[in-house]
A and B are shown apart, each in its own frame.
Chain A
């Protein structure tokens, strides 16, 4: 159950022979070195790819919002403005790092680090494909929610350390918002764990591969997804999505960084690269959260009809399917931002505690009762 990238490569005999021969010729055991090297390479690839996604996300936001507002977005730098985020990156590098005089220096420096570490830590369990999840932990889903709550601490510290009234208010609101919306998100994930029978992403996505098993060609097709499993999971998906938007401080829940209210909220006093860390963490977190929604509800990396089999080609196709679905969700997230107005802070808290939490609690009960009554069969399995 706990597959990692390394254990995927160990399946192949040629790799094992190669390592055996290297160990003989070099005299010491090469395997730990191989493990470290493969993990390092995989992590660097994932970090590079996701940092690119984070940067491209800023560009995608500007272009998509421009499209919705019937104007051109950035279109000077590069063909169709596609290199704009690189120009923005260079700008961030070259800006002066202004630290307010009365700022709490230690906390000011620690806050972006916490945000980045909290987001990078989630990369370890994102299920890109069957073999290419960096490590498919036994407690994958739970671990993801835990390590992404470091971002809340980072937001609060960023607000507090700036020693400015607006930043502090933004930091407080941001931390309480992130913390409140973790509950409906976790409860919706609980109902999926109940249906899947395990906490690891591999188990959950495996349970969505082919529910109508008599039709062996039906692998990976939409009716196998958990979102269509029973009426409670449909509601659960929307609760998860709304809660995840709020966790990422993303409109319509972006009060902690609302431009019209708090200047720039908790990252007002950060300039240059430190601000870039906050922004990068936010855009990458959106990707991670969309990836989690895809893995939990939308079938993850299951390729329709199991094209490509189990080899390297199959793995790459699975990764492609996963990333494609996540990008579709990313587009929806950006779409929602530029469509809906911002929620007021008391409306935000009321939505969480008086609407989403009771609904997700009843969802959990509903899924448990469904599981008991129908022995875990999906809605469609009951009729076909």
Chain B
């Protein structure tokens, strides 16, 4: 089924443009009314009353990166699953329900095995310890 690209996707582009304009126009309008008296003390960052020492970032904890990686894996998995589950009902009516169920089960079980492995080896812990059950 073909749909008209203009009629359907134009509002998205319009919304994004209006989002930009909303921010830009509001900031321009308020630039006129708000005071602007910068002093060095005001422009320091807030550190609960102390003077800030050193730069903002010292050492990165790799657990943030691991969370990002695991997220990407599951995101791609869900992106692959979306078209498959949206034809499940149609396939069911055509009589191929068992086939598509088996395929979805295989796909999901592989990933469940993956996350179970990561859980068991302690990779999902936020605070990683050295004493993990290595079986």
A binds B: yes
A residues in contact (CB < 8 Å) with B? 1-2, 4, 6-7, 32, 35-36, 39-40, 42-44, 47, 93-102, 112-113, 116-117, 119-121, 123-124, 134-135, 137-138, 142, 162-168, 172, 176, 179-180, 182-183, 186-187, 190-191, 193-199, 263, 268-269, 272-274, 277, 345-346, 349-350, 353-354, 357-358, 361, 364-365, 368-369, 371-372, 375-376
Within the complex, the shortest CB–CB distance from B65 to chain A, in Å, comes to 9
Q: Does B26 contact A (CB under 8 A)?
A: yes
Task: Indicate with 1 or 0, residue by residue over B14-35, a CB within 8 angstroms of chain A CB atoms.
Answer: 1110111011001101110111
* Across-interface contacts of B86 in A (CB, < 8 A): 193-194, 197-199
* Across-interface contacts of A176 in B (CB, < 8 A): 64, 67-68
Contact A168:B57 (CB < 8 A) given known A4-B11, A263-B46: yes
- CB atoms of B8 and A4 under 8 A apart: yes
- CB atoms of A269 and B68 under 8 A apart: no
Q: Does B130 contact A (CB under 8 A)?
A: no
Excluding A97-B30, A353-B67, 9 further A-B contacts by CB distance (< 8 Å) are A101-B43, A135-B8, A182-B75, A183-B75, A197-B87, A197-B89, A350-B126, A365-B104, A372-B101
Instruction: Identify whether the interface residues of B are mostly helix, strand, loop, or mixed.
Output: helix
* Across-interface contacts of A263 in B (CB, < 8 A): 46, 48
> How long is the Cα–Cα vector from A2 to B12 in the complex, in angstroms?
14
Task: Indicate with 1 or 0, residue by residue over B56-67, a CB within 8 angstroms of chain A CB atoms.
Answer: 110000001001
Q: Which residues in window 86-124 of B have CB below 8 A to A?
A: 86-90, 92, 97-98, 101, 104-105, 108, 111-112, 115, 119, 124
25 A-B pairs (CB sep. < 8 Å): A35-B6, A35-B10, A39-B10, A94-B35, A96-B35, A120-B18, A134-B11, A134-B15, A142-B82, A165-B52, A182-B75, A186-B75, A268-B45, A272-B30, A345-B126, A346-B125, A350-B126, A353-B119, A361-B108, A364-B108, A365-B108, A368-B85, A368-B104, A371-B88, A371-B89
- CB atoms of A4 and B30 under 8 A apart: no
> How long is the Cα–Cα vector from A32 to B31 in the complex, in angstroms?
36
- CB atoms of A365 and B92 under 8 A apart: no
> How long is the Cα–Cα vector from A21 to B24 in the complex, in angstroms?
39
Complex A-B, nearest 4 residue pairs according to Cβ-Cβ distance, in ascending order: A197-B89, A346-B126, A120-B19, A164-B45
* Across-interface contacts of B108 in A (CB, < 8 A): 361, 364-365
Query: Which single member of B18, B43, B82, B97 contacts A47 (CB below 8 Å)?
Result: B18
